Chain A
Amino acid sequence: MNASEHGAANARRALAQAAERSAAKLRANVRPAAWSNPAPSGRYNLVVIGGGTAGLIGASIVATLGGKVALIEREALGGDCLNTGCVPSKAIIRSSRICAELRDAYMLGVESGSAHADFAAVMERMRRIQARISQKDSASRLQALGVDVYFGRAHFTGKDTLDVDGRCLRFRRALIAAGSHPVIPGIEGLVAAGYLNNETVFDLAQLPRRLLVVGGGPLGCELAQAFHRLGSHVTIVQREPQFLPQEERDAAQILSEALARDGLAIHLNTEVVKVTRSGDERTAHMVCAGKESTVTVDEVVAGAGRAPNVDGLELKAANVDYDGERGVTVDDFLRTSNPRIYAAGDIIEDSRYTHMAEATARIAVQNALFFGRKRLSALTVPWCTYTDPEIAHVGMYTREARKRGIPVKTFTIPMNDVDRAIADGEEEGFVKVTIKDGTDRILGATIVARHAGEMINEITLAMVAGVGFKTLSNVIHTYPTQAEAIRHAADAYQRTRLTPLLKRLTTRWLAWNK
């Protein structure tokens, strides 16, 4: 081993040690080894099943307000978001973005040479970030807030009781926030060949040279683009004719172009029907409009959506209605068929985002303990797919509005017409704001832009606060910013209010006033 190789080996060892330290810190926060469950005493105001985002928010609110609250977690606090979802994926996406920026640096007049990602360092950074953020979700912090934290498996034993590893907890109200888990895709041979899902992909120690991503939903697109930018040769296969089928066609088209530009091998309208394994290689057999083809890769990432974690909770014992695929049945107030018990987060259908978990937990706690009448249907929920460019949406889609017979008009500003986007070299995308025709009421918006997830919040705020589109035209935006596109759209709306009659009048007035 020469000096250079020796130095590289030392660096690898140091990275591995740092990653292990971060992992240990994470475990100490979210699943401390020496934790001993408290002895239950008396009835709890609220017992929360599940220590993910919804459970943590619910328990923290009640504890902060002085209530007696228990939280039960069977694995690790923080849930999917911290451990296997948002946090690790966004850390990796950030590293992948810098690879793309270095690749494209010449477009900004900067010669950077070739970008090379050190995957071990990327993953070490990811674990360090997880460990750091996990402090907020730590058992010790919850304990300090006054939450009784139990690690173990919970199941209901009656309408107002449950059991945690042999200990009986009585409650006035319970919140089921047990989350969800990835569904095993029904592809022939996939399980035997071995595959990764959107959780286990973050356990990879080495960057796969060739990676197949099955599924072109938000998670699939994010992972596919990120891993390709980090250096894998990624093939993405999507059964539908477009990525992100629920989004606007233009948004999906821009994403397709972006992935193609990155160099991913894209197979739309294609189904993976079988996976076989030979040694370390996996071969996926695909069919597109009757034509068969194969692709050989080192790893396969596949997902088929998520299923609610209802097994083992003995929900029937508590008279809680549920469905194995749709989750716990709740009304608009998030109350289950047992009026003492509420549900929030992934375990209820249509709530499978971290920010929805947080929002539903707030509603559930308020309704359960404070005579609240907050409705799930009243929420204005934005979401974002963190590809590059990002695709964010809030409110109603145009097709939804039209099907409901609501006349709508959409104001569109292409990002290539926004000064800051031009200066940044980030011209892909648009801002589309949809209003109810004849009014300035904002019904929804789709933004495709480098930082669409940040920009959509302005529209969400306007919608929640009941601020009309007209008013956004009067909001001074710092110049130059990409968010100015929103004001440009509002300005376009204002111009439509200039009727021919009004224009004649203003022309006369100005002529008279010369």
Chain B
Amino acid sequence: MLSPVRPDAPVNSDQALLDALQRASFDYFLRHANPDNGLIADTSAPGSHASIAASGMGLAVYLVGVERGFMTRADAAQRTLALLRFLKESEQSDAATATGVYGLYYHFLEMETGRRAWASELSTIDTALLFAGILAAAAYFDGDASAEQEIRALADALYRRADWHWAMNGSAMVKHGWKPESGFLNYGWEGYSEAIILYALGLGSPTHPLPPPSYREWTATFQWENLYGWELLYSGPLFIHQFSHLWLDFRCIQDQFMREKRCDYFENSRRASYVQQHYAILNPKQWTGYSRHCWGISAGEGPGFVTRRQGSLERRHFDYTARGLPYGPDDGTLAPWAVAASLPFAPEIVLPALHFMSDVYPQMKDGEKRLRSFNPSFSADGDAQGWVAEHAVAIEQAPIVLMIENFRSGLLWRVLGHCEPLATGLRRAGFRGGWL
């Protein structure tokens, strides 16, 4: 077992809470996987398509499962192999129903066939989250067993095949995505986002690397703000401050931007967690429940596009959207999974919040005890419980598993700390110090 990253180990009730949350979320990846191709369903809804980001996160979740004794190493290796073999063999072409092109992958795939679903885009960030999982698996499975050797070989081949440079389309930064019907999407990565992991993977590629200026070009769009008295690299939704941290330990490593600000991305995410708590205390829209122990605004499902009048208040609710603060959208929907994913950054506010929310809003856990988004302000048909997401979402469940583990043992951070391409990518991005 890896040594804990924090000497101040949580008390037993905290351990019990974290155990339960981690196990419940872990189980999603057993229940909603296709054992034949290793793909993970985007949500627990019947008939859900697979998400490549979820599939990549799933690979990392298996590693936690092995370390926690939830599954055997051999089982994890077999599940990993199923996905890697599928990714290697599936169609890579510009056909509209292929699985990917240029070694990158479509955002959503059909669960059974693995072909492109929903006419989705070839997604650079979701491909990056997939590859982060692939490289984590390759770094973890370091044994001589044939399955583990095959995992490493396949991971290397897949990573070498991915053409990150193509995804720039001749521009200064990586594009969001591409569609066979219309070409590159009109979006680029502008402003701080979860894309550090994308750039680290792209810059570290031994075959099709992103040019280092692309990272500087991206960070030139960052905005360092003083908000509610906290100085931080601002971004509204909480998940943005977490997704790159699922994989990489940003404590004490700095790129040029953070060197200038005498900060690091880990500390930045800590501050972002506090800003979330502060906003909930202020509660400018006067939503039900928001408090110092009840916060967490992030992208995700919501009650639906409904506008209601409550006395002199207009109550607007949304469906799936990138909720954020302080400018919104904020419709009273809270994402407890995102609170859990802030655990390594600010356990002193996250643990009380998880206890409080579990006690006061038990409905936020589904029948499998998994956390799901909820909105206590949205009271449909007199339902005092408010709205609760009907289905679990894979990319919300995985951060719970991974960040609880990173808090407890630093597993993913340690494993990927030994991943040379990622270290190379970070160095090319200008990161120095700490474990690098």
A residues whose Cβ falls under 8 Å from a Cβ of B: 104, 106-109, 239-241, 249-250, 253-254, 257, 261, 269, 287, 289-291, 398-399, 402-403, 407-412, 414, 416-417, 422, 427-430, 432, 437, 492-493, 495-496
Which of B190, B219, B227, B285 touches A412 (beta carbons < 8 Å)? B227
Give B19 Cβ to nearest chain A Cβ, in Å.
38
- From B8-16, B203-211, B296-304, B312-320, give the one contacting chain A: B312-320
Say if the beta carbon of B71 comes within 8 Å of chain A: no
Cβ–Cβ < 8 Å partners of B236 in chain A: 250
Are B226 and A104 in contact, CB atoms less than 8 angstroms apart?
no
- A437 and B262 CA atoms in complex are apart in Å by 12
With contacts A289-B185, A399-B221, A412-B226 taken as known, whether A249 is within 8 angstroms of B309 at the C-beta atoms is no
Q: Which residues of B contact A414 (CB under 8 A)?
A: 227, 284, 326-327
Decide: B179 and A416 in contact? CB cutoff 8 A: no
* Contact residues in A for B313 (Cβ distance below 8 Å): 107
Q: What are the 5 tightest A-B residue pairs by CB atom distance, in nearest-first order?
A: A290-B181, A290-B182, A416-B284, A414-B326, A402-B220
CA distance A257 to B186 in the complex (A): 20
Complex CA gap A417/B329 in Å reads 16
User: Are the CB atoms of A430 and B327 closer together than 8 Å?
Assistant: yes
Q: Is B17 positioned at the interface, with any CB of A under 8 Å from its CB?
A: no
Contact B226 A417 (CB under 8 A): no
- CB of B316 within 8 A of CB of A261, answer yes
A contact residues around B225 at 8 Å (CB): 409-412, 432
Q: How far is the CA of A249 from the CA of B231 in the complex (A)?
A: 19
CB distance from B220 to the nearest CB of A (A): 5
Complex: A172 Cα to B296 Cα, angstroms: 69
Chain B residue numbers with a CB within 8 Å of A409 are 224-226, 231
The reply on B222 being an interface residue by CB < 8 A is: yes
Any chain A CB within 8 A of the CB of B433? no
A-contact 0/1 string along B181-202, CB 8 Å cutoff: 1100111001100000000000
CB pair B179 A289 closer than 8 Å: yes
Chain A residue nearest to B178 (CB atoms) is A289
A residues less than 8 Å from B327 (CB atoms):
250, 253-254, 414, 428-430
Chain B residue, CB-CB nearest to A399: B221
Would you give 13 A-B contacts (Cβ < 8 Å), ordered by A?
A106-B309, A106-B312, A107-B314, A249-B190, A250-B327, A253-B327, A269-B185, A269-B186, A287-B182, A290-B119, A427-B284, A493-B226, A495-B229
Residues in B neighbouring A495, C-beta threshold 8 A: 229
Select B226's contact among A287, A291, A410, beta carbons within 8 Å.
A410
- Identify which of B181, B186, B329 gathers the most chain A CB atoms within 10 Å of its CB: B186
Q: Return chain B residues, CB-CB under 8 Å to A289.
A: 121, 179, 181-182, 185-186
B89 at interface (Cβ–Cβ under 8 A)?
no
**Known: A287-B182, A411-B226, A492-B229. Is A403-B220 also a contact (CB below 8 A)?**
yes
Chain A residue contacts of B223, Cβ below 8 A: 398, 410
**How far in angstroms is the closest Cβ of chain B from A253?**
7
A240 to B222, CA, bound (A): 20
Q: Which residues of A contact B229 (CB under 8 A)?
A: 492, 495
Closest partner residue, chain B, to A239 (CB atom): B186
* Extra A-B contacts (16), CB below 8 Å, given A289-B179, A289-B186: A107-B313, A107-B314, A257-B328, A269-B186, A289-B185, A290-B181, A291-B119, A402-B219, A410-B223, A411-B225, A412-B225, A412-B226, A414-B284, A414-B327, A422-B284, A437-B260
**Are B284 and A417 within 8 A (Cβ)?**
yes
Chain B residues whose CB sits within 8 angstroms of the CB of A290 once the complex forms: 119, 179, 181-182
Residues A408 and B179 in contact in the complex (CB < 8 Å), given A253-B327, A257-B328: no
Report the separation of the CA atoms of residues A97 and B186 in the bound assembly, to the nearest whole angstrom: 33
B45 close to A (CB within 8 Å)? no
Cβ contact within 8 Å between A412 and B328: no
Q: Is the CB of B231 within 8 A of A107?
A: no
What's the least CB distance linking A492 to chain B, in Å? 5
Question: Cα distance A269–B121 when bound, in Å?
Answer: 14
Find chain B residues with CB under 8 A from A399 CB.
220-221
B234 at the interface (CB under 8 A from A): yes
- Measured between beta carbons, the chain B residues less than 8 angstroms from A492 are 226, 229
Contact with A along B117-138 (1 / 0, CB 8 A): 0010100000000000000000
CB distance from A463 to the nearest CB of B (A): 19
Contact of A496 among B222, B226, B309 (CB under 8 A): B226
Q: Determine which of A109, A254, A403, A410 lies in contact with B224 in the assembled complex, contact meaning CB atoms within 8 Å.
A: A410
**Closest-CB distance, B259 to chain A (whole angstroms):** 11
- Asked whether any CB of chain A lies closer than 8 Å to the CB of B282, the reply is yes
Chain A residues with CB under 8 A of B316: 261
Is B222 a contact of A402 with CB atoms below 8 Å? Answer: yes
Q: How far is the CA of A287 from the CA of B224 in the complex (A)?
A: 36
Residues from chain A with a CB closer than 8 A to the CB of B228 are 417
Residue of B nearest to A448 (CB): B327
* CB pair B282 A417 closer than 8 Å: yes
Closest to B224 in A: A409
Point out the residue from A104, A257, A402 that lies within 8 Å of B314, measured CB to CB: A104
* Residue of B182, B191, B312 touching A249 (CB-CB under 8 A): B191
Which residue of chain B is the closest to A269 with respect to CB atoms? B186
Q: How far is the CB of B179 from chain A (nearest CB, A)?
A: 5
CA distance A399 to B219 in the complex (A): 9
| Docked CA distance A254–B187 (Å) | 18
Give chain A nearest CB distance to B287 CB in angstroms.
12
Residue from B221, B316, B327 having most chain A Cβ neighbours under 10 A: B327
Q: Which residues from B are CB-within-8-Å of A253?
A: 327
Name the distance in Å between A216's Cβ and chain B's nearest Cβ. 13
Contacts of A407 in B (CB 8 A): 260
- Given the complex, which residues of A lie within 8 Å of B260, measured CB to CB? 407, 437
**Which A residues are CB-close (under 8 A) to B312?**
106-109
A153 to chain B, nearest CB (A): 43
Min CB distance, B103 to chain A, in Å? 22
Shortest distance in angstroms between A459's beta carbon and chain B's nearest beta carbon? 16
Least CB distance from B123 to A in Å reads 12
In the bound complex, do residue A241 and residue B186 qualify as a contact, i.e. CB atoms below 8 Å apart? yes
Contacting A at CB under 8 A, from B245-286, are 260, 282, 284-285
- Which A residues touch B182, using CB under 8 A? 287, 289-290
CB distance from A278 to the nearest CB of B (A): 27
Measured CB to CB, the nearest residue on chain A to B330 is A416
Complex Cα distance, B225 from A496, in Å, reads 12
Closest beta carbon of chain B to A272's beta carbon, Å: 15
What's the minimum C-beta distance from A266 to chain B, rounded to whole angstroms?
13
B315 CB, min distance to chain A CBs, angstroms: 11
User: Closest CB-CB distance, A264 to chain B, in whole Å?
Assistant: 14
Residue of A nearest to B190 (CB): A249
